[in-house]
Amino acid sequence: MISRKLAASLLISTLALGGCAALVDQRATTREGMAEATFPPTGQFVTVQGARIHVDVQGAGPDLVLIHGASGSSRDFTFNLASRLKSNYRVISFDRPGMGYSDSLPGTDLSPLAQADALIAAAQQLGAKNPIVLGHSYGGSVAMAWALRATPRALVIVSGATMPFPGDLGLWYQVTSSRLGGATIVPLITAFAPESRVDSALADIFAPQSPPAGYADYIGAPLTLRRDALRVNGRQVNNLKPHVTLMAENYPKLTLPVEIIHGTADTTVPIQIHAIPLSKLLPNANLTVLNGIGHMPHHTNPDDIVAAINRAASR
Looking at residue 11, what is its pLDDT?
A: 53
b/e burial code for range 18-44 (CB count within 10 A of at least 16 → b) = eeeeeebeebbeebbeebeeebebbbe
**Sites in the chain below the pLDDT cut of 50:** 1-2, 17
Q: What is the DSSP letter of 24?
A: H
Q: How far apart are CA 279 and CA 283, in angstroms?
A: 8
Looking at residue 4, what is its pLDDT?
A: 53
| Domains, the chain, with CATH or none | 4-314 (3.40.50.1820)
| Residue 224 Cα distances to 1, 15, 71, 76, 240, angstroms | 11, 20, 6, 12, 18
Looking at residue 2, what is its pLDDT?
A: 47
Amino acid identity, position 143: A
Q: How far apart are CA 277 and CA 157, in angstroms?
A: 13
Looking at residue 1, what is its pLDDT?
A: 44
CA-nearest of 70, 13, 69, 18 to 196 is: 13
Looking at residue 200, what is its pLDDT?
A: 87
